[in-house]
Amino acid sequence: MTERLAELSALREQAARGPSARATEAQHAKGKLTARERIELLLDPGSFTEVEQLRRHRATGFGLEANRPYTDGVVTGWGTVDGRTVFVYAHDFRIFGGALGEAHATKIHKIMDLALAAGAPLVSLNDGAGARIQEGVSALAGYGGIFQRNTRASGVIPQISVMLGPCAGGAAYSPALTDFVFMVRDTSQMFITGPDVVRAVTGEEITQNGLGGADVHAGTSGVAHFAYDDEETCLSEVRYLLSMLPSNNRENPPSLPCADPADRSGAALLGLVPADGNRPYDMRKVIEELVDDGDHMEVHERWARNIMCTLARLDGQVVGIVANQPQFLAGVLDIEASEKAARFVQLCDAFNIPIVTLLDVPGFLPGVDQEHGGIIRHGAKLLYAYCNATVPRISIVLRKAYGGAYIVMDSQSIGADLTYAWPTNEIAVMGAEGAANVIFRKQIAAAGDPEAMRARMVKEYKSELMHPYYAAERGLIDDVIDPAGTRAVLISSLAMLRTKHADLPARKHGNPPQ
């Protein structure tokens, strides 16, 4: 037994050490950590339990039978983050470049099945060269099993993909199926066809980072939700995100003790938001004034910047906030903003996170590109997401809320539980100037002084249909509130809604607009 234990210890040490010191040095030279170093940063110290450490592939041909390293290029297991169970798999680029073969895929399948059975989050640390070409179609089938499990777990457990190296071809579809994608600048890339193929087919010259780097996917394509400069910061932020999410869809997000008073006055809001609807301001500062300690985690911060989606806490309870951002495109809804917000609303609804919507929206962005790009179809995604959501929903109109965009942004008519407005609100079909030009077109044209008549008609329209209490008088909002008391109103309203229950009609699933 002693000899056997010594043999086992030696095998474990060999598996943990990896292929060679030279391979480790090469990984570090690229500014990248090893798979085990990454797991140590992600999980609580000493909490990692590895699964199938001694697994080796059984493939033959092309020299594979003479190269059978332990782990087969992926480290799998579970541990804890802030004491809560989290499952993880990490590609080891030192072994076969992290490429996926049959045994490699089987290990990932098992850990995904365990995560779903245990009802705990799954984090993938991706650093692989795609399918192991030497194993042919068996490797491709392995990806199919991953995609199927990603889909089965969607909306059941949080799935987080952390891109820490290359991810090309079909391999990129697993991260795309998960809830969140993190990337690291300069070291991680994602693309379906690489620069060489692009050059051969289109003649375009482009680098890997220019084609699918972190900044491209965080700011242009919207594939990445978060991008950071180094792995340590990235993994620290993954831990922070996990602290805001429940372990599964049967639980509520974890609450924390809160030292920030629930009735703290937000008098600063009076100076942050101009009464003039045409003047921009930073919605981020409004959110920081409302939430606990001004702390929040913005999702897709650099993509579709005319709308904000962020996770925060109010009195220690996690909330998702959707807010128009007047600093960019005046806060209008366009194709990308609609997609971004719709996905976020669906995520919050799947994981029992109440939704707070802050409105200051002039409408949908007009233009041929938007119409031909399918703004009707994409805007309907946001409408569908809100209408389908059963979590507590509260909306607040800060300033303007015009036309269809007002309805889509969680108005009372599509099911918001509570709707409030500040005294600066303007809820209408369109702005007063545009409305006056339509309604009083003939009078303005016939007037001796058309501009004076237009100004008079605009004033008349505002006084009749756009005063701050018009919607309240008709029961379309529940109350007009003092901006300084917004935090207290939100916290008390969410406390009342905490036990909300909604029954949905029996169906296999809906058919949302695509």
Active-site choice (35, 214, 401, 405)? 405
Question: CA 405 to CA 501: how far, in whole Å?
Answer: 27
CA dist 299 to 222, 259, 311, 390, Å?
10, 25, 8, 21
Question: CA 88 to CA 146: how far, in whole Å?
Answer: 14
CA dist 420 to 162, 406, 423, 427, Å?
38, 13, 10, 12
Nearest of 101, 92, 173, 174 to residue 136 by alpha carbon: 101
Alpha-carbon dihedral sign for residues 403, 404, 409, 415: positive
Respond yes or no: is residue 170 known to be catalytic: yes
Respond yes or no: is residue 385 known to be catalytic: no
Active-site choice (119, 169, 222, 316)? 169
Residue with tokens 């101009």: 274
Q: What is the DSSP letter of 218?
A: I
* All residues at 6 or more sequence positions from 347 whose CB lies less than 8 Å from its CB, including other chains: 179, 320, 353
Question: CA 70 to CA 201: how far, in whole Å?
Answer: 39
Residue with tokens 């805007």: 379
Nearest of 178, 195, 66 to residue 125 by alpha carbon: 178
Active-site choice (145, 404, 434, 485)? 404
Respond yes or no: is residue 485 known to be catalytic: no
Lookup: tokens for 437: 């030009």
Respond yes or no: is residue 404 known to be catalytic: yes
* All residues at 6 or more sequence positions from 475 whose CB lies less than 8 Å from its CB, including other chains: none
Question: CA 497 to CA 486: how far, in whole Å?
Answer: 16
CA dist 199 to 138, 194, 210, 211, 455, Å?
29, 9, 13, 11, 58
Under a CB-based contact definition with an 8 Å cutoff, are residues 182 and 223 in contact? Answer: no
Active-site choice (136, 170, 373, 403)? 170
Active-site positions read 169-170, 404-405
